[in-house]
Amino acid sequence: MNPLLKTVELPYRGVNRLRRALYRAGILRSRRLPRPVISVGNIAAGGTGKTPAVIAIARFLAGRGLRVAVLTRGYGRTGRGGPVTSLDPALFGDEPVLIKKSVPNVDVIVGENRYENGLHINCDVFLLDDAFQHLQLARDLDIVIDVPHPRFSREGRSSLRAADVVIPRRIAVVDPQAIRGRRVLAFAGLADNEQFFATLRDAGAELAGTRGFPDHHLYTPADVASLRTAAAVADAAAIVTTEKDAVKVLEPDIIAVPIEFVIPAEVLDRIAALVAP
């Protein structure tokens, strides 16, 4: 790990360890919403696939006829938050917009105070996005996505004992035939762009080049022009990116590669048991 990053990580982990101890001792108390709450989170700072996992669980719950409300903070937004009413990543953040676009029949509510936001939503189940450290809100099922050797950890691995379920990151391209054997230029603005590029290679794509941007990057016309130039120089047949980045680019010839998070069957069984009437 970068030594400078390590000097930031250790105090950050210490603060989270102290907060968790205060909640465990009852000095700080979580508040409870009136419906079951399922949290999806991680101990790594991004790069675990939590948004695809939230989408997969939301689809599963909605497919059972349940009214689902996703409560999320909405990083990178310029708006005040509230229910996602348009697919505008500048107003609501790229991840909330992607969730709403992927599962249109669920409510997605953006804001830091997820307890207050949840009180005003009529639903059957709440789904918390990126909430393992959001101890202010009680949850009925705490799901944590674990990845080996994260670049930056919010908490030590001992904190995984507080989770109800720990699952590995398992991402699959929905239609690998669409990119298999194609020479493409790939770009992404994620916490870990290399994981996306590796997923494309595993699916059989030939990467003529890659371009990485910071997480939640807001793309400019100059960025798009630069990508087109790089693709032409590399003789790439297409430019591809993540679904999360595609909602901010909106260029019809840039291909968003659909991926899905594979939730273990036993975890889906626990979710189903939690929300059973």
Task: Locate the domains of the chain by residue range.
Answer: 3-169+262-275, 172-261
Task: Quickly state the pLDDT bin for 10 (edges 50, 70, 90).
Answer: confident
The pLDDT assigned to 3 comes to 58
Among 116-125, 152-161, 252-261, the range scoring the smallest mean pLDDT is: 152-161
Average pLDDT over residues 23-35: 95
**pLDDT at 236 exceeding the cut of 90:** yes
The pLDDT assigned to 44 comes to 85
Q: Which residues contact 206 (CB under 8 A, 6 or more apart)?
A: 181, 182, 183, 184
Chain position carrying tokens 């790939």: 186
CA 40 – CA 50 distance, rounded (Å): 7
CA 253 – CA 117 distance, rounded (Å): 37
Q: Which alpha helices (DSSP H) does the chain contain, by range?
A: 3-24, 50-63, 89-92, 94-102, 114-119, 193-202, 221-233, 243-249, 265-275
The pLDDT assigned to 47 comes to 74
pLDDT digits 0-9 by tens, 124-168: 999 999 999 999 999 999 999 998 877 788 888 999 999 999 999
CATH code for 172-261?
3.40.50
Nearest partner of 144 among 61, 78, 54, 31, judged by Cα:
54
Q: Percentage of the chain surpassing pLDDT 90?
A: 81
Residue 22 carries which side chain, given as an amino acid letter? Answer: L
Do the first three CATH levels of 3-169+262-275 and 172-261 match, i.e. the same topology? yes
Token duo for residue 52: 């695809």
Contact criterion met (CB below 8 Å) for 144 and 160: yes
The pLDDT assigned to 88 comes to 93
Q: Percentage of the chain surpassing pLDDT 70?
A: 98
CA gyration radius for the chain? 19
Chain position carrying tokens 């980045």: 245
pTM: 0.92
The pLDDT assigned to 6 comes to 62
CA 244 – CA 102 distance, rounded (Å): 10
What does the chain come to in residues?
277
**pLDDT at 1 exceeding the cut of 60:** no
Token duo for residue 10: 């250790």
Class of domain 3-169+262-275: alpha beta
pLDDT digits 0-9 by tens, 44-88: 887 789 999 999 999 999 999 999 999 999 887 888 889 999 999
